[in-house]
Amino acid sequence: MNVIISKEAVDLQESDLLITTLFRDERPLRDSIGWIDWRLNGMLSRFLIENKLTGEWKERTLIPSQGRVSPKLILLFGLGKAKEYSYLSVREIIPFMVETLKNLRASNLCLSLPYGNEYNVDCGKLAEVLLEGIRDGMDQYPSDRKWIESLTLFFGEGEERFSEILLGVQTAKSILSDRLQIRILTPSERLPKESLTRNI
């Protein structure tokens, strides 16, 4: 598995699919999802007003980015109530995410979930939990082991979170060393663009 840690924001990641989330009870949209909504000219806010999007637990919505962000597609997962969000709820939703990604045969992904003091979720620990949960998908879907091992994951929350995410990914790499090979790439070690071009 390749993990690319970027100093750029999520909308600039050269992935095929951007995975982000929203809460049922947090309006207006904030952080990454708010930024993506702004880049999409408020399309997500309109979906909320029209009840095409709710943020309910395990809700999933796949939309084209229409060239407004680098990833071609955006996959939104509902997280339910903001006050119930924690590392445990992230671990609970990861198998559902993995199943969805497996069905899409997606392999070049950017992940952005909520973090910060208001959620009591640290950005670095969140990256660690995500990687551990994805690795657990290899046990849940043993026939898809090669698919999981060949994933390319992007984490990009801006330069101020770079070191935090790097530490979380390095921790996950250490914990998972005997179960999953993780190759960490930083801005000076990016993969050639042609190796990132995959269909989903």
Q: Is the pLDDT of residue 188 over 80?
A: no
What is the C-alpha end-to-end distance of the chain, expressed in Å?
A: 17
Q: Is the pLDDT of residue 110 over 80?
A: yes
For residues 23-36, give the mean pLDDT.
94
pLDDT band for position 140 (cuts 50, 70, 90):
confident
Residue 172 CA: distances (Å) to CA of 126, 128, 138, 156: 10, 5, 15, 17
Structure confidence at residue 199 (pLDDT): 43
What are the residues whose beta carbons fall under 8 Å from the beta carbon of 128, sequence distance 6 or more?
168, 169, 171, 172, 175
Task: Tell me which residue has tokens 């050639």.
Answer: 192
The SS3 of residue 155 is strand
Please give the angle made by the CA atoms of 130, 193 and 99, to the nearest 5 degrees.
30
Structure confidence at residue 139 (pLDDT): 85
Q: Is the pLDDT of residue 78 over 50?
A: yes
Q: Is the pLDDT of residue 169 over 70?
A: yes
Structure confidence at residue 153 (pLDDT): 97
Domains of the chain, residue spans: 2-20+69-75+82-188
Structure confidence at residue 193 (pLDDT): 54
Q: Is the pLDDT of residue 197 over 80?
A: no
The matching CATH number, chosen from 3.40.220.10, 3.60.15.10, 3.40.50.10740, 3.40.1110.10, for 2-20+69-75+82-188 is 3.40.220.10
Q: Tell me the pLDDT tens digit for each residue of 146-166.
A: 999 999 999 999 999 999 999
Gap between the Cα atoms of 88 and 151, Å rounded:
23
User: In the predicted model, what is the mean pLDDT of the chain?
Assistant: 91
For residues 119-137, give the mean pLDDT.
95
Q: Is the pLDDT of residue 85 over 60?
A: yes
Percent pLDDT > 90 in the chain is: 85
Q: Is the pLDDT of residue 195 over 90?
A: no
Structure confidence at residue 190 (pLDDT): 52
For residues 3-25, give the mean pLDDT.
95
